Chain A
Amino acid sequence: MKTLTSSLALLIGLAGWWSVVLPVPLQAKDRGAGGSPPDWRRAEPGWDYAFPRDHHAHPQFKTEWWYFTGNLKEKGTGRPFGFQWTVFRQGLMPPGMEVPDSAWLSRSFYFGHFTVTDLETGAFHFDQILSRGAFDETAAGAPGERLLVRIKDWSLEGAEVAPDFTEFFLKATATTGDYAVDFSLRPGKAPVINGVDGVSKKSAGEGNASHYYSVPRLETSGELRLGEETFEVAGQSWLDREWSTSVLAENQVGWDWLSLHLSDGTDLMLYRLRRDDGTPDPFSSGTLSFPDGSKVHLENRDFTLAPGRTWKSPATGAVYPMEWEVKIPAKKVILRVAAAQNNQELAIPGLAYWEGAVSVSGERDGTPVDGEGYLEMTGYAQAIRGLR
């Protein structure tokens, strides 16, 4: 669910240039200029997930992303780090439209976010990359290729197909050159399909949904560089893949999203859509997946998500909950989620959101559990108006 931020995000880089930052609703645009029929495909029930095919791009859909988050430690010292690596694809010309012969025009454009949380020093690094894809600055591999997606030197590849990729390779260097990662990620679990019948509904109306799967456990190892220092790190990461054409409703202003690795091998993905009147949207949902590969879909009524202590961002003035209490009564799950540190906001003008490492403790089925994960909170600094 994470990144409905997407279309907003891309505007950051442009914020200096253009007056504003928020695109008009996508659906409106599909009906829009030139009278050409909307020929983006919509997310409809019955999608037949196949891997590694679905790791690759889906250009018949308007929007998609590859979203990695992870909790890592330096080998030997145990120094803790968090990271986020995301690439978004935003479709410009639908499949029925011919892309003219110009190096500057492409069917999609790409942008990415890359953060590293240095939990020992409390430093939080964030960066954004943008490209219109001119001169092969961006690429998305087709099924059968190793390359999944690339923007300049931010790249994601898969390797050793049997039957799915057994390893991902993820690289990025911040555009400032200040920090970089070079990771290998091995799935410890098969992809978990979120939602019902292959779709994750986001709001009322046919097609207002996405195709959404997660790879909750990725054994991650590799190098993380901060300035001049390079750390050998290892830990657990989470991959979210989602593609869609239209998603949010007018009255949805933001969301809170969690991905948690629990010590008993259970993984939880949960999101709560917030409406402009402050109430949770009925289309909020989640997935609880177990070490044996089984999973449970959670509807809005199945869980509660209660905010606790808050933190006010000095950069944007937004007030974010730094603690959450998650209750899934039917599954006897009570979890207390706390930010690993406050300062993990991507303070991007017009589009700030909080995305950071969290620690978790609580109990499941009466047994104490703890764990780590990532939390995303959007729409606190300003209403999220993209992707409607």
Chain B
Amino acid sequence: MTSALTLFHTLVFRYLRRHWLTCLLTILSLALGVAVYLAVRIANHSSREAFSAGIDLVAGRSHLEVRGSAGYLDDTVFPMVAGHPDVAAATPVLEGFATLPDHPGEYLKVTGIDPFTNGPFQTFQVFDPATGEFDLETWLGQPGQVALSRRQAEALELSEGDSFRLETGGRVSSVTVPFWFSPEDEGEEEAVGKTALIDIGWAQVLLDQPGRLSSIQVRVEDPTQIEAAAARIREALPEGTVVTTPSQRSLQIQKMLQGFELNILALSLVAILVGVFLIYNAVSASVVRRRREIGILRSNGASRAQVFALFLGEAAATGVAGVLLGLPAAIFLAKFMVRQISETISVHYVLTSVESIQVSPGAVLVSACYGIGAALAGAFFPALEAARQEPVDALALHPVADPKPLPIRRLALAGMVSLGVAAALSWLALSSGPAWFSLAACFFAIMAFALAAPGFSRGGGFLAEVFARALPGRWQALVRLACENLIRSLRRSAVTVAALMSAVAMLTGVSVMIHSFRSTLDTWVDQIVRADLYLGPAANEVVGSQVFLPEEAEDFLRSQPGVKAVETYREERLLLPDGSEQKLAVVNAGRMKAFPYQSGNPEEVSRAVIQEDQVVATESFARRLGAALGDRVPLPTAGRVREFQIAGIFYDYSDDRGTLYLSRETFAKFWKDRRYHSAAVFLESGVEAEKIAEAFRDRFGGQGTFYAYSNRSLRGRIFDVFDQTFAVTQALRAIAIAVAVLGVTLSLSTLVLERTYEIGVLRAIGASRAQVFLSYLGEAGLTGLLSSVLGLICGLCLAVILTWVVNLAFFGWTIQFHIPWRELLLTPGWTVGVAILAGILPAFHATRIPVAEAVRTA
């Protein structure tokens, strides 16, 4: 054992010391892969934790949750729930969002709770920060007495007993902070930061929700029979009440975020995949460099297994170092990423604010395993190669660069199979699911092209050589030498081509997808965003559609000179009996005429939706639920569940969960509510939108603050949101490219080493240093060219999958394929450029090889 360690120490560490740059590059690239992967995991996890911490604060210890399908619950349901024989404890909760007029852009989640019934559910303490005690009489007896977390109170610069202003539903109220609260789990303090606790009764007053609750939290008598109890409780409650477990709610959220999270996780895995290529290159280099050492070892009785273990051990050591470096880097990176991700989630899914990052030991472990696993996987074949070397060969004077030719045809065949698998997975992802098959399809597509890389490189090499014959003599020799070199050392160069190709493909695929998406969105926005002015309560920009416009706003706008028409928009979230949410949008029937329909005739649809039971579905809705034209959808209306018929399905990119559009008439009829969240104003030509917005603010300024977007600024905002969504993606692909470039440097360095003897001979027969230098740059350039061409083809394949399969499978969005030709045509240019840059260092090394020694040694 000791001797093995000594051997490992002597051979491995001495080598690593001598080749510290290669070693460092490998470690860095692995660290980068691990860091990106873990950072994405942490960021995803943190945003989800932040969300569930908000739920846990009130529902952390409950078995069941009673909610209303209209998003609220009549509080007279409470005695029914509390008095039910299956219920051991019940407590009411009322939640609402408030913005802070004195802190623009900030919000608080106002959570009404009842100290008399909350005991069994308690996950926090409320206290007066001065005395550490709690004064119930202040809590119950006076309006607007809230508890903030210490952190939040400090962030708002509030001391105990200070007052501040809250805006809820367009009304500004002053509240006082006599209390702080602290979650029992101290780690959650940051996560629940934006919560203000207040008594349930005063919450009804503050939020102007008399007689309403958001939910009733329930602990049942027999926790082993939760489902049965839920059924009996449901039975005893009026229609329109939903009884679910809180985990069902978390599950809904998780499901909702799953697609989004999986996407960025997949992108981060690419970083590790590229790391595998790199390790392959690095270990290959070390095998080549130590050919003689291997020979001596084997001659002295070392077994093949020992040699194999030696190289794997070296890779593992590199892996460990990469992981050790990558983990802290991940935390650093996650801090940047978490903000991006939580903003994206807030924009598209649920309002979340992530104040801190949460590192789960599981994620760290998995990342570490990935890092070390990638190192071992990358090292496997080179280590095997080392183990297979016969002592005689290893000690031979001239190594044969490619002892056994690559089975190019077999690899190409495997590539075809892989492409077939990708196609099959795509088809499955679209037809039956699961959606993540589409990501697997991406992986197999890249695999297919990677497997084709040797054949492609050889073909490309020959072709380049043929072209080179047309060149003048001196250059011809150089270029042909570069081509020959590449073809002869396919075992190495094909791997480099595959690595760089994957990066280019990734970049191309994602660019094409984003470009297609943006173009599609552009057309769509033209059809959807038609009005000249959009008005709504400013609070909705912070907390989502929560606040209604004043009821007279519509008539007021219509009466303004120069206004052609006014349309209104309302958003509603219904709770379905299974505990999931369904988004409704309520618009004027006329507006539906302009929707880009996938199925259904616009004229007919706009006539149909005035009839009472017709709705229009978005494509995402239809895809997610497998609904078709004419299908009926049950929706809980005020009073009872009714079925609505789908009169049309249209393309929509505003959310990926699917929305049902109702006409105002239909909504008013069944939900008895005509209020709306925003208004769109159409103007006569020549009328300035700003004038109308000003008139509106003059009239309604006393009732709150409002946003006003002109057609142009709204479009701008839509694309801002779009770009924000893809910001993480952009960052990730940049990283993939960086890692691939490292690969070129490493692989060329290996080749230079392998060919020390040849270079010596070349120099001996009169090649100048400049010629050697250029021939290696040429090889690097050729590698870049081949990679970019193959990468472009692969990238287009990938783009097709991303655009038509991934988007449709995950989000239910049909995106028209648009190719950004100019960007793509530039790809070979910069890829070759980058490859040549990456080749400078190894090429320079090649010129430094001492001729006499080189010719003698090998």
Contacts and interface: CB of A to CB of B under 8 A. Distances in A.
A130 interface: yes
A21 to B, nearest CB: 7
* Top 4 A-B residue pairs of the complex, sorted by shortest distance between their CB atoms: A104-B201, A92-B141, A105-B201, A18-B134
Given A17-B115, A19-B133, A24-B131, A135 B78 contact: yes
B811 to A, nearest CB: 42
Contact of B135 (A16, A23, A131): A23
A100 to B, nearest CB: 5
Given A19-B132, A23-B136, 20 more contacts: A14-B134, A14-B136, A16-B122, A18-B126, A20-B133, A21-B134, A23-B133, A23-B137, A24-B138, A29-B135, A33-B161, A92-B137, A100-B143, A100-B202, A102-B204, A102-B211, A104-B199, A105-B140, A131-B116, A135-B76
B163 to A, nearest CB: 9
16 contacts: A14-B136, A17-B115, A18-B134, A22-B133, A29-B137, A33-B161, A34-B142, A90-B137, A100-B201, A100-B204, A104-B114, A104-B200, A132-B140, A134-B201, A135-B76, A135-B79
B223 interface: no
A11 interface: yes
A162 interface: no
Contacts of A26: 137
Interface string A71-110: 0000000000000000000101100000011111100010
**Which of A14, A17, A33, A93 has the largest count of B CB atoms less than 10 A from its CB?**
A17
Contact of B75 (A16, A29, A100, A103): A103
B433 interface: no
B134 A102 contact: no
Given A14-B115, A132-B114, A32 B201 contact: no
Contacts of A105: 140, 201-202, 205
B125 interface: yes
A13 B119 contact: yes
Given A18-B127, A20-B127, A100-B201, A33 B133 contact: no
Contacts of A18: 115, 125-127, 134, 136
A104 B113 CA distance: 11
B136 A11 contact: yes
A34 B143 CA distance: 9
Contacts of B141: 92-93
A14 B201 contact: no
B459 interface: no
B114 A16 contact: no
A351 interface: no
Contacts of A11: 136
B140 A17 contact: no
Interface of A: 7, 10-11, 13-14, 16-24, 26, 29, 32-34, 90, 92-93, 100-105, 109, 130-132, 134-135
A24 B210 contact: no
Main secondary structure of the interface of B (DSSP, over half): mixed
A103 B116 contact: no
B454 interface: no
B132 A33 contact: no
A105 B144 CA distance: 13
A19 B125 contact: yes
Interface string B517-550: 0000000000000000000000000000000000
A14 B78 contact: no
Nearest to A36: B142
Contacts of B138: 24, 29, 32-33
Given A29-B138, A92-B140, A100-B143, A20 B176 contact: no
B178 interface: yes
Given A19-B133, A32-B138, A93-B141, A24 B114 contact: no
A29 B178 CA distance: 12
B136 A10 contact: yes
Nearest to B121: A17
A102 B75 CA distance: 9
Interface in B784-832: none
Contact of B116 (A34, A93, A130): A130
Contact of A19 (B79, B114, B134, B145): B134
Contacts of B142: 33-34
Nearest to A24: B135
Nearest to B118: A17
A16 B140 contact: no
B123 to A, nearest CB: 10
B833 to A, nearest CB: 65
Contacts of A132: 114, 116, 140, 201
Interface string B586-610: 0000000000000000000000000
Contacts of B128: 24
Nearest to B75: A103
Nearest to B176: A33
B124 to A, nearest CB: 9
Nearest to B79: A135
Nearest to B161: A33
A17 B78 contact: no
**Which of A16, A102, A130 has the largest count of B CB atoms less than 10 A from its CB?**
A102
A369 to B, nearest CB: 44
Interface string B56-90: 00000000000000000001101100000000000
Nearest to A107: B141
